[in-house]
Chain A
């Protein structure tokens, strides 16, 4: 038996390697740097790592390779765009994570124990959240460029495991936070199992775990179609779980609500890019020729997801849960881009993912500002009259909500238009009509929040708004500026995406 030394294309892998290296250094920093210095060192390290990775991604943007790591990693235009989007969103959210008083003082301590009290009194800070973030980012970057099922699974776990931990790090209402982490973990484990099950069937169908091998079998059509169908179905369940599509959405509201808001922001925005990135690659390359077998079902899921998310969001009284259901509805809109299965659909999905991700981070950043003495206030009834007390915060939040609702002159509108037109072009008129109708429903609950903030007189137990620190301000301002810019003059970004949005197979 002979061993072949693996040939790695380090240039193409470098962005991911940089992030991983940064994460490892972060672990060392945890071990060796003094407590007082740790937060600032970690922040600088994390931001520097992400920036460096972003620069590196841009430097390799033109390159295309099917075999960057022995056929396990593929790099192409969309791969570049997904990685860049994940990095930009991560950079914006890292400032929010860094700012937070929201993380528990000692994650290992039992809630309410003397140990925890002591840690709080000592002014402990959980800085391990930074390396965890970097590990998750590395997993997210690998997810949409994986080109075999094993790597895809590894990437899936790599991005998920840190997120499970991070979801449980909340400083206040720790039990709720830990419950969220556990739910996320258990349901995530189920989804992973489904995913593996599907992977096994695809292997049985094609005798190969690489995307190109499976694709060849699909195109050749020689295999057992039952295996293919079961494989597609179970792989899809794993992916649909990650994006939070109905009926695999059940974890979303609880996790969004329980996790520290900064983590929710990062998770909601960046995970979506990664998961949809992988999904787009799989459906557009491997399964494209088996379109007949999955588009009807996926269209159904898209329609149900949009309508369910929009309708259930109406009933929410908690701003984080409302945003969670809104993210479910948005997952439905994004599925329309997957169904479109054309170049316009791919470009539109990428634009939408980026625009939505940025607005989401911004919206959650605003949520962290609304507090009372016991921490963040997410009960919408106590947001009444916010517009009177803090007009700027309320206006910015209202603007993000209008972007979610897809009002013109915000990035959300351009995203919605481009994704719906791509779906319409591919003949999925039903999905477009459902999308338009659920947008109308969704507008209702976004506007209700605006009404609460601006047109309702405040209660006596009014919540205060924390003066945003420099770090949170950076997050909010960046998100706001990008959302406005993409709404008013999106042409440069759209052209840029169009230039790169072609999968290589």
Chain B
């Protein structure tokens, strides 16, 4: 394979550069170029995924060039199974978002082309953040990503968009700066132990006292917990998701927030194995609280976008729980969950976005009887909802099941409580489905148009992926499993043998 990660990152940037050269007035051409670039990136990623050696636990597609040699900083990228899956998710979602949100940039403060430049730059940085194997490089992408998202929310969102954008940015910056302190700590430690470096592999070999390790761990973890978002660091998310355009929300919840959970695996676990063990009980508790809390608040929401945001908090609870359960099923499940959550959230947000733009309202009670008026849109929403509540046969079921199984072997109580999250999921999905889709047609909805061809084309791949992986998840699992097992075994854990409850 001759596609390198650098080339993969250069493609969206190239698209952005072409867009920048365009005149402002030609919005349609801008959209076409953006769509073309994202499709090209997706194809390139797929070809990289095909060339990926699944059983090889070492990093692949490795590139490393000195960037700031006197600090030991390298431009170093590489892929393992986990990062490959997440990059694949990012690049597959990008063209879908562009196509689905064809008219999203209309209500923005700036031109259409600026919107797509921001999206493309964001895509490039998202690839970079997952591919980086140098902690400094990771941090650079991690922080720089905030800027395009900030402008996407603040410039093209609705409602209290600038307040939401600022809240999002400040929360993330605060976490990021804590992480910076930890990164500096690691840098200084590495300098004292054989030379400054930011190489993830080398840093994981550092010797440190347990106090140091705990403090540095917290710096990373809080940053990721804000990003993910884990209860009680979640308060920025509903506002951001409420104000952002549906497409931006998909990128925000589907891609950006995954950086948090990805970072937990890549950095918290591998760099600070001892501290991870110390904090695991607390984190598992926070995850369970997130699952239940997010679900309860989702049930209580009247606004459809906020509802989806809270369901995500619940889902991120599952992911975090799977990560910190320290079993290979848990890990595989969590990684698969990240991928699936990307698509099921995309489905929910995009269809919800179409519903909202047609109705001009995002309050659930304003809808009703859509099943009769706009059958295709209603079915799409129903399908997205089923995927969100992890109906067997859809992709989320596989990952949620793996997470629960993986957790149960080590933390049975947490797993049992989390299972209630599934029951609550049925409630928070079925209530809006019932109110919005079924029942009598609410006044004002009689003439809503159904999905256009463009929208159908955009949602179709999401539906196909969710269905396909629901029945046949093994292509992805074969990529994820070796990486997940590798992480677990590196930390010195082995899967506990399954025990029968009450038996011997």
Asked whether A455 lies within 8 Å of B185 as measured between CB atoms, the reply is no
Q: Which one, A407, A424, A454, contacts B188 given CB within 8 A?
A: A424
Known: A421-B188, A454-B154. Is A436-B68 also a contact (CB below 8 A)?
no
B:151-191 near A, CB below 8 Å: 151, 154-155, 161-162, 165-166, 169-170, 173-174, 177-178, 180-181, 184-185, 187-188, 191
Asked whether A456 lies within 8 Å of B173 as measured between CB atoms, the reply is no
Asked whether B71 lies within 8 Å of A436 as measured between CB atoms, the reply is no
Segment among B4-12, B56-64, B138-146, B421-429 that sits at the interface with chain A: B138-146
Q: Does A225 contact B (CB under 8 A)?
A: no
Q: Does A439 contact B (CB under 8 A)?
A: yes
Q: Which one, B66, B143, B191, contacts A491 given CB within 8 A?
A: B66
Asked whether B143 lies within 8 Å of A443 as measured between CB atoms, the reply is no
Q: Does B70 contact A (CB under 8 A)?
A: yes
Residue of B nearest to A426 (CB): B188
Known: A420-B184, A455-B162, A491-B70. Is A436-B177 also a contact (CB below 8 A)?
yes
Asked whether B70 lies within 8 Å of A432 as measured between CB atoms, the reply is no
Asked whether A407 lies within 8 Å of B162 as measured between CB atoms, the reply is no
Q: Does B67 contact A (CB under 8 A)?
A: yes
Known: A451-B162, A455-B155, A491-B70. Is A409-B144 also a contact (CB below 8 A)?
yes
A136 to B12, CA, bound (A): 48
Known: A444-B170, A455-B165, A491-B66. Is A417-B184 also a contact (CB below 8 A)?
yes
Residue of A nearest to B136 (CB): A417
Asked whether A495 lies within 8 Å of B170 as measured between CB atoms, the reply is no
Q: Which one, B69, B139, B180, B191, contacts A436 given CB within 8 A?
A: B180
What A residues does B177 contact at CB under 8 A?
436-437, 439-440
CB of B351, distance to nearest CB on chain A (Å): 28
A443 to B68, CA, bound (A): 25
Asked whether A451 lies within 8 Å of B154 as measured between CB atoms, the reply is yes
Q: Does A414 contact B (CB under 8 A)?
A: yes
What B residues does A437 contact at CB under 8 A?
177
CB of B429, distance to nearest CB on chain A (Å): 34
B:446-487 near A, CB below 8 Å: none
What A residues does B191 contact at CB under 8 A?
425
Q: Which one, B66, B170, B188, contacts A447 given CB within 8 A?
A: B170
Q: Does B147 contact A (CB under 8 A)?
A: yes
What B residues does A25 contact at CB under 8 A?
none
Asked whether A454 lies within 8 Å of B170 as measured between CB atoms, the reply is no
Residue of B nearest to A388 (CB): B109
Q: Which one, B67, B154, B180, B187, contacts A455 given CB within 8 A?
A: B154
Residue of B nearest to A456 (CB): B162
Asked whether A498 lies within 8 Å of B161 as measured between CB atoms, the reply is no
Q: Which one, B68, B173, B180, contacts A414 given CB within 8 A?
A: B68
Q: Does A88 contact B (CB under 8 A)?
A: no
CB of A418, distance to nearest CB on chain B (Å): 7
What A residues does B187 contact at CB under 8 A?
421, 424
What A residues does B166 contact at CB under 8 A?
447-448, 451
Q: Which one, A402, A436, A443, contacts B181 given CB within 8 A?
A: A436
Q: Does A408 contact B (CB under 8 A)?
A: yes
CB of B191, distance to nearest CB on chain A (Å): 7
A358 to B136, CA, bound (A): 24
Residue of B nearest to A435 (CB): B181
Q: How large is the interface on B (under 10, 10 to 19, 20 to 34, 35 or more residues)?
A: 35 or more
Residue of B nearest to A410 (CB): B144
Interface membership of chain A positions 439-467, coded 1 if the CB is closer than 8 angstroms to chain B and 0 otherwise: 11001100110010011100000000000
Q: Does A494 contact B (CB under 8 A)?
A: yes
A432 to B187, CA, bound (A): 13
Q: Does A433 contact B (CB under 8 A)?
A: yes
Number of interface residues of A (CB under 8 A): 36
Asked whether A490 lies within 8 Å of B184 as measured between CB atoms, the reply is no
Interface membership of chain B positions 186-226, coded 1 if the CB is closer than 8 angstroms to chain A and 0 otherwise: 01100100000000000000000000000000000000000
What B residues does A405 contact at CB under 8 A?
173
A436 to B181, CA, bound (A): 7
A116 to B165, CA, bound (A): 49
What A residues does B146 contact at CB under 8 A?
407
What A residues does B184 contact at CB under 8 A?
417, 420-421, 424, 432
What B residues does A387 contact at CB under 8 A?
109
What A residues does B181 contact at CB under 8 A?
420, 432-433, 436
A405 to B67, CA, bound (A): 22
Known: A408-B144, A421-B188, A454-B154. Is A490-B170 also a contact (CB below 8 A)?
no
Residue of B nearest to A418 (CB): B71
Asked whether A436 lies within 8 Å of B178 as measured between CB atoms, the reply is yes
Asked whether B140 lies within 8 Å of A408 as measured between CB atoms, the reply is yes
Asked whether B169 lies within 8 Å of A447 as measured between CB atoms, the reply is yes
B:66-101 near A, CB below 8 Å: 66-71
Interface membership of chain B positions 224-249, coded 1 if the CB is closer than 8 angstroms to chain A and 0 otherwise: 00000000000000000000000000
CB of A412, distance to nearest CB on chain B (Å): 12
Question: Among A388, A420, A454, A455, which residue has the most Cβ atoms of chain B within 10 A?
Answer: A455
A259 to B141, CA, bound (A): 39
What A residues does B69 contact at CB under 8 A?
491, 495
Residue of A nearest to B219 (CB): A436
Residue of A nearest to B154 (CB): A455
Asked whether B70 lies within 8 Å of A498 as measured between CB atoms, the reply is yes
A264 to B411, CA, bound (A): 62
A388 to B185, CA, bound (A): 42
Q: Which one, B109, B139, B143, contacts A454 given CB within 8 A?
A: B109
Interface membership of chain A positions 457-482, coded 1 if the CB is closer than 8 angstroms to chain B and 0 otherwise: 00000000000000000000000000
A494 to B196, CA, bound (A): 15
Q: Which one, A402, A425, A432, A455, contacts B147 given CB within 8 A?
A: A402
Q: Which one, A424, A432, A447, A494, contacts B71 given CB within 8 A?
A: A494
Asked whether A409 lies within 8 Å of B70 as measured between CB atoms, the reply is no
Q: Which one, A402, A425, A436, A495, contacts B70 given CB within 8 A?
A: A495
A426 to B169, CA, bound (A): 31
A489 to B67, CA, bound (A): 7
What A residues does B109 contact at CB under 8 A?
387-388, 454-455
A387 to B110, CA, bound (A): 9
Question: Among B151, B162, B169, B177, which residue has the most Cβ atoms of chain A within 10 A?
Answer: B177
A:385-437 near B, CB below 8 Å: 387-388, 391, 402, 405, 407-409, 413-414, 417-418, 420-421, 424-425, 432-433, 436-437
CB of A435, distance to nearest CB on chain B (Å): 9
What A residues does B180 contact at CB under 8 A?
417, 420, 436
A401 to B321, CA, bound (A): 39
A115 to B68, CA, bound (A): 58
A402 to B143, CA, bound (A): 11
A498 to B155, CA, bound (A): 42
Residue of A nearest to B151 (CB): A454
What A residues does B151 contact at CB under 8 A?
454
What A residues does B147 contact at CB under 8 A?
402, 407
What B residues does A409 contact at CB under 8 A?
140, 144
A436 to B146, CA, bound (A): 18
A414 to B166, CA, bound (A): 24
What B residues does A425 contact at CB under 8 A?
188, 191
A:368-395 near B, CB below 8 Å: 387-388, 391
Known: A447-B166, A447-B169. Is A494-B154 also a contact (CB below 8 A)?
no
Question: Among A413, A454, A494, A498, which residue has the most Cβ atoms of chain B within 10 A?
Answer: A454
What B residues does A417 contact at CB under 8 A?
71, 180, 184
Asked whether A407 lies within 8 Å of B143 as measured between CB atoms, the reply is yes
What B residues does A436 contact at CB under 8 A?
177-178, 180-181
Q: Which one, B66, B68, B143, B161, contacts A408 given CB within 8 A?
A: B143
Given A443-B169, A494-B68: 7 more A-B contacts, CB < 8 Å: A408-B141, A409-B140, A418-B71, A421-B188, A432-B181, A436-B180, A448-B166
Task: Rank and list the top 4 A-B pairs by shortest CB-CB distance, nearest first.
Answer: A455-B162, A408-B140, A408-B143, A436-B177
13 contacts between A and B (CB under 8 A): A409-B140, A417-B184, A420-B184, A421-B187, A433-B181, A447-B169, A447-B170, A451-B162, A455-B162, A491-B70, A494-B70, A494-B71, A498-B70
